[in-house]
């Protein structure tokens, strides 16, 4: 436990904006870029992937991978944003410079407000860049109490102090759930709608799967359906 970081996260969490579920959904146009990001590491550098879809249709555009120095902050559970968040910012800044990329929404392989202090990496990134963000994770930081159905689309809320902060989602029948939560500037209902809309046929959210495959291949020096930017 890091008391200083705990207090910092709690203070920053107060600045996070999560619209109510009855507010209008985030409207994504055909040319709006939805970016999904992931990171992989070697012994001497970090690879960051940014998978880009068209917002309105979910059509895949391209996946880019950038290379960065390793984080200087040690990784500690619950403080993932301090370790990996700066890498995501560096990647987006590089893509903004080289591609004029300005995301309308960023989806992160991690958590939003479904975090013990309501400030996961998706919230950190959304606040840092002032853009809507979503966290989509493979493992939970917050327990879900209600039984989760086995059928595709089944949902169980994740609660923190009796408030819904995210959901466990059965993305396909019989598979382990994924865990989604808003990061910043998007409602829980809209978060669920977007993840279901773009999900794909596998357990893992399809854009996360593409981003994950891209950084893993790039870190091994392999080619694939991505563009390496150096």
Beta-strand ranges (E) seen in 138-206 are 155-160, 163-169, 178-184
Has residue 118 been placed in a domain? yes
Mean pLDDT of the chain: 95
Q: What is the pLDDT of residue 15?
A: 98
Q: What is the pLDDT of residue 4?
A: 86
Mean pLDDT, rounded, for 178-199: 96
Is 12 or 4 the better-scoring residue by pLDDT?
12
> Could you tell me which of 130, 107, 103, 121 has the C-alpha nearest to residue 194?
107
Q: What is the pLDDT of residue 108?
A: 97
> Could you tell me which of 182, 80, 76 has the C-alpha nearest to residue 127?
182
Has residue 55 been placed in a domain? yes
**Helices 121-129/80-99 angle, 10° precision:** 40
Residue 81 makes CB contacts below 8 A (sequence gap 6+) with 110, 119, 120, 121, 123, 124, 125
Has residue 42 been placed in a domain? yes
What does the DSSP 8-state code read for residue 130?
T
The first and second tokens of residue 219, run together, are 């870190």
Has residue 14 been placed in a domain? no
Question: pLDDT per residue over 10-39, tens digit each?
Answer: 999 999 999 999 999 999 999 999 999 999
How sure is the predictor about 121, in pLDDT bands with cuts at 50, 70 and 90? very high
What does the DSSP 8-state code read for residue 54?
E
Q: Is the pLDDT of residue 178 over 80?
A: yes
Has residue 221 been placed in a domain? yes
Find residue 166's DSSP bridge partners. 158
Has residue 205 been placed in a domain? yes
Question: pLDDT per residue over 66-95, tens digit each?
Answer: 999 999 888 888 899 999 999 999 999 999
Q: What is the CATH number of the domain that holds 111?
A: 3.30.2170.10
Q: What is the pLDDT of residue 1?
A: 66
The total number of structural domains in the chain stands at 1
How sure is the predictor about 143, in pLDDT bands with cuts at 50, 70 and 90? confident
Q: What is the pLDDT of residue 115?
A: 97
Has residue 150 been placed in a domain? no
Full residue range of the structural domain in which residue 96 is found? 28-137+180-229
Percent of the chain with pLDDT over 90: 90
Mean pLDDT, rounded, for 170-182: 94
Q: Is the pLDDT of residue 145 over 80?
A: no
Has residue 125 been placed in a domain? yes
């Amino acid at each position: 436990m890091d008391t200083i970081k705990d207090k910092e996260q709690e203070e920053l969490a107060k600045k996070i904006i999560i619209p109510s579920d009855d507010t209008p959904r985030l409207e994504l146009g055909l040319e709006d870029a939805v970016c999904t990001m992931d990171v992989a590491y070697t012994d001497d550098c970090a690879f960051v992937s940014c998978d880009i879809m068209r917002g309105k249709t979910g059509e895949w555009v391209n996946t880019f991978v950038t290379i960065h120095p390793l984080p200087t902050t040690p990784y500690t559970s619950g403080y993932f944003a301090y370790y990996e968040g700066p890498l995501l910012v560096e990647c987006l800044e590089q893509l903004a410079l080289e591609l004029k990329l300005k995301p309308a929404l960023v989806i992160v392989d991690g958590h939003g407000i479904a975090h013990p202090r309501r400030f996961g990496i998706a919230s950190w990134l959304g606040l840092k860049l002032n853009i809507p963000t979503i966290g989509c994770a493979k493992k939970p930081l917050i327990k879900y109490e209600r039984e989760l159905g086995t059928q595709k689309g089944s949902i169980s809320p994740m609660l923190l102090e009796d408030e819904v902060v995210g959901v466990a989602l059965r993305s396909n029948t019989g598979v382990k759930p994924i865990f989604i939560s808003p990061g910043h500037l998007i409602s829980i209902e809209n978060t669920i709608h977007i993840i279901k809309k773009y999900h794909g046929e596998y357990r893992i959210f399809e854009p996360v799967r593409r981003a994950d495959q891209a950084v893993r291949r790039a870190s091994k020096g392999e080619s694939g359906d991505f563009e390496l930017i150096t």
